[in-house]
């Protein structure tokens, strides 16, 4: 496996990139079939609740960022990758609300991924605590941004 990568950092970035590609494709496909913003948010919330409990991604990324050097080229590559994923999701969501031109697509996408993969959400599992889920947090945040809170 290592023979395909220059080192641990490159291997980690490759795994992160593939995980991100799969996640972004899943969520983009779900949202594309939505008739309106509310339905899109529901689909994102379902995706977030499922994915918030899969694996240790939040811990891996936090640990890496803790030990990485500020001038690390790998960190810059990782940031570029994450920002592209955030922007893709944000652009799609903002198509439902073109009047929100003061909201940056990258911010909307980052909000979804941060709430989904927040380290605290990794511990919110049955039988311990069932609410709030990552989906609950995303529904509240996105409905607030899009003016749909009821």
Encoded tokens for 34:
């939505």
* Per-residue pLDDT reduced to its tens digit, 47-89: 988 888 776 665 666 666 666 666 666 677 778 888 998 999 9
pLDDT, residue 8, reads 72
pLDDT, residue 126, reads 56
6-23: average pLDDT: 77
Distance separating alpha carbons of residues 29 and 31, to the nearest angstrom = 6
Query: Lowest-confidence range among 17-26, 32-41, 108-117?
Result: 17-26
pLDDT, residue 77, reads 76
Q: 118-122, long-range: CB within 8 Å, 24+ apart, which pairs?
A: 118/52, 118/58, 119/58, 119/59, 119/62, 121/52, 121/53, 121/58, 122/52, 122/53, 122/56, 122/58, 122/59
Q: What class has domain 2-145? A: mainly alpha
């Amino acid at each position: 496996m290592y023979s395909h990568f220059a080192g641990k950092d490159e291997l980690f970035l490759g795994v992160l990139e593939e995980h991100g590609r799969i996640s972004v494709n899943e969520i983009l496909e779900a949202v594309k079939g939505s008739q309106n913003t509310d339905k899109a948010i529901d689909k994102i919330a379902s995706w977030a609740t499922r994915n918030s409990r899969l694996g240790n991604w939040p811990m891996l990324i936090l640990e890496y960022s803790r030990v990485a050097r500020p001038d690390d080229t790998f960190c810059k590559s990782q940031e570029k990758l994450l920002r592209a994923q955030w922007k893709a999701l944000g652009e799609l969501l903002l198509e439902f609300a073109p009047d929100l031109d003061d909201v940056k697509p990258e911010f909307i996408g980052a909000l979804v991924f941060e709430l989904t993969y927040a380290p605290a959400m990794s511990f919110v599992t049955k039988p311990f605590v069932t609410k709030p889920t990552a989906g609950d947090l995303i529904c509240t945040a996105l409905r607030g941004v899009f003016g749909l809170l009821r």
